[in-house]
Amino acid sequence: MLRRYSSVLSPNVPTWAYGAFLAVALGWVLVAPKFWVFLGGAACLLAIAGLGLSVVVGWAGEVSLASAALVGTSVYLTGYIVRADGLDLPFLVGLGAGVAVATVLHSFAALATAKLSGIYVMVLTLGLQVTIERTVFSVAKLTGGSEGVYLSRPRLFGLGFDSDIAFYYLCAAVLAVVVVMLTLFRQSRHGRALLLVRTNREAAAAVGISPWRYKILAFAISGALLGLAGAMTAPLYRSPPTLLQYLSFASLFLLAVPVTAGSESLLAVILVAFGFTMLPAGLEELGIRLSPNVVGGLGLLTGTYIGARGIGGAVLDRLREKRENQTLAQLGQGTTVVLPRDDAHEPVVIDTVPARRPRTRTPAGAGGNGRRSDEDLVGVGTDGLAPALSRGTGLTLRPRPPSRLEARG
């Protein structure tokens, strides 16, 4: 049974590395000052929001600018449902409501732009952000207005999470569950379908995938995670942050997390979220004041410069290259080992497949877009053909025995 889930762990990462990571993630709060533990909880929640946005930005190839409004809506709605002067209901009810509302709102944005993409989605989600700012955030009953509200941290399943350490563990556990679920989703047929829709909608449609459906699904998952982050933010701060924290500019800050980290690695999203949360505080202790927004802006610039694969993709590429180069050195030039990403097949040693091979195409004017000359097109002859394209993959088609029909005569 557990074997079905073994693909969550990368075969390229040794077991001890996972153990060490777990030990550090759980142990550092035992020795860290209280303020840093609190920041750790905030970083976990930023990571959950970042992962949510990563589904839309990295996996669906769209940009949502409504993220801060969705987080804020969930913060205030959960707070209102849970707090004593609100509905005074259990935390899980508030959390469920926050997640549900954010999911529905984000899905609605996707529905409205189902056949569109790019700039239209950005504008519509920005419109959703502004609409929420002017409607939901103006309800003093929800936000507490200028007075502010107090919220106690929850007790769940008989466990109290009042201390910062306990709440950090709760946030870290939720983050771990989110990472596992997203990894499993990404490896499922639905995750592959989402990536194919991002690559090309028509190609996805040609193999039976509805691009509209998957776009809406991406926004729904993203909305759910943004709502989850918001619902847990309410008790983290005990007194939910002011609505200034959830205005349009905050959406750009949230967007910076997946843009900086890239779409390749969920771990990179978590590390970037921790960096964005901890770096300004760390620098402040050194006497350097740096606004988190500046960090976010630098992240956006970095992510844009690196490209869609972000820092995570760049690092993974280096590691992959390093691994293959080491193998090349051992086996000799012109040989490399193909390291599969799943358990379907064993590593294969093949010839002449360099890790990075420049691809050349037929130059313009020498066959035009790789097409053959007119003479060749009509089958008169093969003289004057465009120069052959670079091959060198060792993938030349092999001669085959007669087909079944031919064999039958």
Binding residue for another protein, selected from 31, 288, 344, 364, defined by CB under 8 A: 344
Question: Which x/- pattern over 184-203 shows residues binding another protein (rule: CB under 8 A)?
Answer: xx--xxx-xx-xx-xxx-xx
Token pair of 231, please?
A: 């619902």
Q: Is 134 in the site for another protein (CB under 8 A)?
A: no
| First vs last C-alpha separation in the chain | 49
Question: Which x/- pattern over 303-342 shows residues binding another protein (rule: CB under 8 A)?
Answer: ------x---x------------------------xxxxx
- Choice between 181 and 290, CB closer to another protein: 181
Which residue, among 60, 270, 278, has the nearest Cα to 172 in the 3D structure? 270
Q: Is 361 in the site for another protein (CB under 8 A)?
A: yes
Q: Which residues, in sequence order, are CB contacts of 340 under 8 Å at separation 6+?
A: 346, 347, 348
- Choice between 6 and 239, CB closer to another protein: 6
Q: Is 24 in the site for another protein (CB under 8 A)?
A: no
Q: Could you tell me how many helices (H) and strands (E) the chain has, helices first?
A: 16, 4
Binding residue for another protein, selected from 2, 30, 31, 288, defined by CB under 8 A: 2
- Choice between 330 and 403, CB closer to another protein: 403
- Choice between 41 and 211, CB closer to another protein: 211
Which residues in 121-142 are b (16+ Cβ under 10 Å) and which e?
bbebbbebbeebbeebbeeeeb
Q: Is 364 in the site for another protein (CB under 8 A)?
A: no
Q: Which residues, in sequence order, are CB contacts of 338 under 8 Å at separation 6+?
A: 347, 348, 349, 350, 353
Q: Is 267 in the site for another protein (CB under 8 A)?
A: no
- Choice between 298 and 339, CB closer to another protein: 339
Binding residue for another protein, selected from 146, 289, 365, 404, defined by CB under 8 A: 404
DSSP conformation letters of 355-370: SS-----PPTTTTTTT
Secondary structure of residue 348 in the 3-state scheme: strand
- Choice between 147 and 202, CB closer to another protein: 202
Per CB under 8 A, which of residues 163..182 are in contact with another protein?
Answer: 181
- In whole angstroms, what is the distance from residue 238 CA to residue 42 CA? 12
Binding residue for another protein, selected from 30, 31, 208, 287, defined by CB under 8 A: 208
Q: How many residues sit in the footprint of another protein (CB under 8 A)?
A: 85
Q: Is 116 in the site for another protein (CB under 8 A)?
A: no
Classify residue 149 as left (phi > 0), alpha (psi -120 to 50) or beta. beta
Binding residue for another protein, selected from 11, 33, 160, 363, defined by CB under 8 A: 11
- Choice between 71 and 197, CB closer to another protein: 197
Select from 43-51, 67-75, 252-260, 350-358 the region that touches another protein (CB under 8 A): 350-358
Select from 155-163, 249-257, 292-300, 398-406 the region that touches another protein (CB under 8 A): 398-406
Instruction: Write down the least CB distance from residue 176 to another protein, Å.
Output: 15
Binding residue for another protein, selected from 32, 89, 210, 328, defined by CB under 8 A: 210
- In whole angstroms, what is the distance from residue 17 CA to residue 29 CA? 19
Q: Is 343 in the site for another protein (CB under 8 A)?
A: yes
Q: Is 354 in the site for another protein (CB under 8 A)?
A: yes
Q: What is the dihedral of CA 330, 332, 333, 338, to 10 degrees?
A: -60
User: Do the beta carbons of residue 331 and residue 337 sit within 8 Å?
Assistant: yes
Which sign, positive or negative, has the C-alpha torsion 62, 119, 126, 276?
positive
Binding residue for another protein, selected from 30, 31, 207, 288, defined by CB under 8 A: 207
Which residue, among 131, 137, 71, 60, has the nearest Cα to 99 in the 3D structure? 71
Token pair of 10, please?
A: 């990368």
Q: Is 15 in the site for another protein (CB under 8 A)?
A: yes
Per CB under 8 A, which of residues 366..395 are in contact with another protein?
Answer: 369-372, 376-379, 382, 385-395
Which residue, among 360, 364, 354, 409, has the nearest Cα to 388 in the 3D structure? 360
